[in-house]
Chains A and B, each alone.
Chain A
Amino acid sequence: MTDKNLSQLLKEIGEVKPSVKWKEANRQILLSQINSGNFEAAKLNLSAKTRVAVDFIYNGFVKQLSQPVLATVLVFVLLAGGSLYSLSAASESTPGDSLYTAKIIGEKTQMALTFGDKNKTKLNIEFAENRVNELAKVLSDDSVNGEKKAKVEKLAGSFKKEIASVKHRIEKINADVKSEPIASEPTEGAVVAENEGDDLVFSANLGKGDDGLSISDSDTDKDKPAEEDNTATEPEAEIVELEIPELKTDTTTADIVKEGIAVQASSSDEAMETPQTKSQTIFDEAKQLLEEENYDAIIEKLDEVVSHVDSEVAQSKVEVKGVAGEAVEEEAIIDEGTVEDVAEEEVVEDTASSTLQ
């Protein structure tokens, strides 16, 4: 007897039924027992109907669907939760840590999943911010002295890349804006400012010496004569206004020779105490400017932070090439300025940028 035959036979056995006579008789007996006074008569009032409906919906649909759905949801939650947890755990890592690669991959994924130049620019700024935070961590960590130099160089390189991406994107956005007919009528001054904003990258190259800060020209203008005391070619643009208050607060005790880009500072301990906070503030302002679509001002901010980071690196006495050494606009000399003074250099940068406007 084959399996099929057997299962067919078993099914046919299931067709056996009790006698109809007994069925009817028994139904009557059951009905009378149900209807007898022993049992409370059940009336289907509204609340009972609701209960029935709720019970039916729950058992008939929710319970049945919930099992596979729940399992699927759980799998997704675990996968997503696991990856998010790893990423969040990796967010505090620095180069050399096992989770650092995860952090970088996470950033790349985030970038790949983001659309629009503006959003990507924002991400680039955030990632640059991450690099600065990592840099600060590496610099403050004395336990890894041997690898410090390599790490700092690596981070400075990544930071530079991020900043370059931001600038590239802003250039692109600016180009798009210009190509639009409505946006093609800015004032002449604004156009000049924009053009300059695109090209100008200036930063302190502090690796060159301890007793002076030089700001060099950008790659394309490297052959310009150095040590120009006053290179202000344009009147101060409104962008400078953004820099001034900060500049003033940071250098209350500094002796600034603004027009000559010569600064003599004696103390700016506040800025030294919280270099990371300072960068943070600049990044926050840059993001704010991005929201306001003030792209030129973002360039200014980025230059500011680049010089700031450069100075941090130099301060740490680690010999690292200037983060933006090859991309500077003007060259200036600070008279008797001490390189360690963070605020001092920012003053120089800010002043330099303001004179450029």
Chain B
Amino acid sequence: MKTSFLKDTFLFSNIKNKNREAFLKAYDLYLDEIFRFVLFKVSSEEEAEDVTSQVFLRAWNHIQNDNDIDEETLRAWFYKIARNTVIDHYRYKNKTKNTVSTDEGETTINVPSAEDIFSDMAIKSEHELVMKKINGLKDEYKEVIIMRYVEELSIPEIAHILKKSKGNVRILTHRALRALKDLLES
């Protein structure tokens, strides 16, 4: 879903001034794509839901604590928070896993993978294949493929989220797409 730039800017201006209604509107507007973005990075729908909930709560806390916001768009801001939340989620998960394995030995929880979720959602076989291949890419490529081609973020937005130069992002997306094609052809 493409959100108009002015709508994004208007909501962002209001959110910076701690407007709850604006924040809820932003939640409705960006929930789906943040969820998808997270889903590609975590291994289950359940995890994706948890992480996505945390993303929005973190965003609100960030506003309430009067922290500086240097992102130019609301969308980029949510993506950045989502990225950090996923990283923190993995850190926490690793820590817990180590603790669990020490205490209880090998305990594996059977959670559905991203591909399983998509198959549940009646996705065509082609989509499923592409999904699998995207998940086979390295994280850096996976991320830009999702942002650039699935969610259609602009190059400057991605550059801002990843803290890279625009030229760098262009090269990265190009390489990522080529890598995905190679995987699909192999």
Contacts and interface: CB of A to CB of B under 8 A. Distances in A.
B64 A39 contact: yes
List 5 A-B pairs, minimum CB-CB distance, nearest first: A42-B18, A10-B149, A55-B13, A56-B13, A60-B9
Given A6-B180, A14-B33, A27-B27, 13 more contacts: A1-B181, A10-B149, A13-B127, A13-B150, A18-B31, A18-B45, A18-B48, A18-B49, A26-B53, A30-B56, A30-B60, A39-B60, A60-B6
B4 to A, nearest CB: 10
B20 A34 contact: yes
Interface in B35-70: 35-36, 45, 48-49, 52-53, 56-57, 60, 64
Interface stretch (A44-52, A152-160, A235-243, A346-354): A44-52
A16 B23 CA distance: 23
B24 A60 contact: no
B145 interface: yes
Given A10-B149, A11-B150, A59-B9, A31 B24 contact: yes
A12 interface: yes
A17 interface: yes
A53 B19 CA distance: 13
A40 B61 CA distance: 11
A66 interface: no
Interface in B63-116: 64, 72
A172 interface: no
Contacts of B31: 18, 23, 26
A13 B23 CA distance: 26
A239 B36 CA distance: 92
A13 B35 CA distance: 13
A18 B16 CA distance: 27
13 contacts: A13-B36, A13-B118, A13-B127, A14-B36, A14-B151, A14-B152, A18-B31, A40-B18, A52-B16, A52-B17, A55-B13, A55-B17, A64-B5
A42 B17 contact: yes
B137 interface: no
B19 to A, nearest CB: 6
Contact of B32 (A18, A34, A40, A64): A18
A116 to B, nearest CB: 49
What is the interface residue range for chain B against chain A? 35 or more
Task: Tell me whether chain A's interface is mostly helix, strand or loop, or mixed.
Answer: helix
Nearest to A6: B181
Contacts of A44: 17, 19
Task: Tell me whether chain B's interface is mostly helix, strand or loop, or mixed.
Answer: helix
A22 B5 CA distance: 28
Contacts of A31: 24
Interface residues of A, number: 36
A184 B162 CA distance: 81
A14 to B, nearest CB: 4
Contacts of B14: 52
A6 B24 CA distance: 34
A7 interface: yes
A7 B126 CA distance: 12
Nearest to A55: B13
A63 interface: yes
A288 interface: no
Nearest to B14: A52
Contact of B130 (A9, A27, A59, A63): A9
Interface in B124-138: 126-127, 130-131
B50 to A, nearest CB: 10
A116 B9 CA distance: 52
Nearest to B130: A9
Nearest to B53: A26
Contacts of A7: 149
A64 B156 CA distance: 12
Given A26-B53, A40-B64, A12 B151 contact: no
Given A55-B16, A56-B13, A9 B126 contact: yes
